[in-house]
Structure 1
Amino acid sequence: MLVKKNIGFTLLEVLITMTIIAILSAVAAPSFITFIKRDRLVTNSNQLHSVFKFARSEAIKRDKSVSLKASNKQWIVQTTINSIQTTLNVFEITHNSISIDLKDINIFSTGELGYMSQILVSDNDSSTADLTLCILQSGQSWLVEAPETC
Structure 2
Amino acid sequence: MVPSLRINPSVGKKNLGFTLLEVLITMTIIGILTAVAAPSFITFIKRDRLVTNSNQLHSVFKFARSEAIKRNQTVSVKTSNNQWQVQTAINSTQTTLNIFEVTHSSISVDLKDIDISSAGELDQMYQILVSDSDSTTTDFTLCVLQSGQSWLVEAPETC
TM over 0.5: yes
TM-score by length of 1: 0.98
Q: Distance in 2 between matches of 1:82 and 1:118?
A: 32
Residue number in structure 1 paired with 2:146: 137
Residue number in structure 2 paired with 1:93: 102
Q: Secondary structure at the match of 1:103?
A: coil
Q: Distance in 1 between matches of 2:108 and 2:20?
A: 50
1:71 deviates by 1.2
**Large movers: runs of 4+ above 3 Å:** none
Per-residue Cα deviation, 1:50-92 (whole angstroms, up to 9, x for no partner): 0000000000000010000011220000000110100000000
Residue 14 of structure 1 aligns to which amino acid in structure 2? V
Residue number in structure 1 paired with 2:34: 25
**Alignment partner of 1:118 is 2:127:** yes
Residue number in structure 2 paired with 1:107: 116
Larger Rg: 2
**Alignment partner of 1:47 is 2:29:** no
Q: Secondary structure at the match of 1:144?
A: strand
Residue 63 of structure 1 aligns to which amino acid in structure 2? N
Gapped runs of 5+ residues in structure 1?
Answer: none
1:118 deviates by 0.3
Q: Secondary structure at the match of 1:17?
A: helix
Per-residue Cα deviation, 1:99-121 (whole angstroms, up to 9, x for no partner): 00000000000000011000000
Q: Distance in 2 between matches of 1:114 and 1:29?
A: 46
**Alignment partner of 1:78 is 2:84:** no
- In percent, how many aligned pairs have the same letter? 79
Residue number in structure 1 paired with 2:17: 8
Q: Distance in 2 between matches of 1:143 and 1:75?
A: 17
Q: Distance in 2 between matches of 1:82 and 1:94?
A: 32
Gapped runs of 5+ residues in structure 2?
Answer: 1-6
Q: Distance in 2 between matches of 1:8 and 1:117?
A: 66
- The CA RMSD measured in Å over matched residues stands at 0.7
1:26 deviates by 0.2
**Alignment partner of 1:69 is 2:69:** no
Q: How many residues align?
A: 150
1:14 deviates by 0.3
Residue 109 of structure 1 aligns to which amino acid in structure 2? S
